[in-house]
Amino acid sequence: MQVVGAGLGRTGTLSLKQALEDLGFGPCYHMQEVMRRPSHVRRWLDYAETGDAQWDELFDSFESGVDYPVANVWSELAEHYPEAKVILTVRDPERWWESTNSTIYGFRTAFAPWFRTAVPHIGRFVNMVDKYVWEGLFGGRFTERDHAIAVFNEHADHVRATCPPERLLEFEVAQGWEPLCLFLDVPVPDKPFPHLNDTAETKRIVTSMYYFTRALPFVAAAAVAGAVISSSAS
């Protein structure tokens, strides 16, 4: 692991993931990678319960990591990988809360209860995110704006106070390539800095999942009823 991201989700972490991969520090670990790997969801749940982790096995094929749950354990990772550099992605706290509340917080209830039971991996994933983020980091009070913003600021202050300054870059993705490349000592690419995870697109996905998983039982029941009626008529 060469780069550890200490910034919370919705501070440009997906854009940073792509930027790091473009610069040769990939693959880059991100919450998206966790969701794709059922075994990793189980490992993070185990770590939340026992505090025992095999970081080298978990990040075996990754050169960097950003977003939750990496940001939750950034200090442990920085200690385990003493040569790794640390990047704290930041943004205006008020805008961060609005963005998080209107996008990824919706994933907490996006999947209907029956769907989480029928697809155990999804159920475990939602549980894992709760343990690390909504119930863990924010103490079940994320919807209390002032509390959530205070947690956001305290997290950033803790990183600034405890990470050696020569290892730390405080970074806003709007700054583009230059400060990131200078910090990582690599050339600036001849292409635009990536800007991913558009708010409107994330909202669309959350809304689609919410209605799809709640409508599916009715669609299936209607299909079965239609098949029965058609069979009877014939």
pLDDT digits (tens, 9 = 90+) for 43-97: 999 999 999 999 999 999 999 999 999 999 999 999 999 999 999 999 999 999 9
Give, to the nearest 10 degrees, the angle between helix 13-22 and helix 177-184: 60
Confidence band, pLDDT 50/70/90 cuts, at residue 224: very low
Q: What percent of the chain has pLDDT over 90?
A: 78
For the cut 70, the answer to whether the pLDDT of residue 124 exceeds it is yes
Report the pLDDT value the prediction gives residue 172, as an integer from 0 to 100.
97
Instruction: Specify burial of residue 234 (Cβ count, 10 A radius: 0-12, 13-18, 19+).
Output: exposed
Report the pLDDT value the prediction gives residue 228, as an integer from 0 to 100.
41
Strand partners, 170: 88
Report the pLDDT value the prediction gives residue 233, as an integer from 0 to 100.
52
- Residue of 225 and 195 predicted with greater confidence: 195
Report the pLDDT value the prediction gives residue 199, as an integer from 0 to 100.
73
Q: Which of 99-108, 142-151, 176-185 has the lowest mean pLDDT?
A: 99-108
- Assess contact for 3 and 163: CB atoms under 8 A: no
DSSP letters, 171-224, are E-GGG-HHHHHHHHT-PPPSSPPP----HHHHHHHHHHHHHHHHHHHHHHHHHH
E strands present in 52-179: 64-65, 85-89, 168-171
Identify the sign of the CA torsion 106, 70, 18, 57.
negative
Q: Parse the chain into domains and list their residue ranges.
A: 3-233
Average pLDDT, the chain: 90
* Number of Cβ atoms within 10 Å of the Cβ of 80: 15
Report the pLDDT value the prediction gives residue 115, as an integer from 0 to 100.
87
E strands present in the chain: 3-5, 28-29, 64-65, 85-89, 168-171
- Assess contact for 95 and 15: CB atoms under 8 A: no
Domain 3-233: give its CATH code: 3.40.50.300
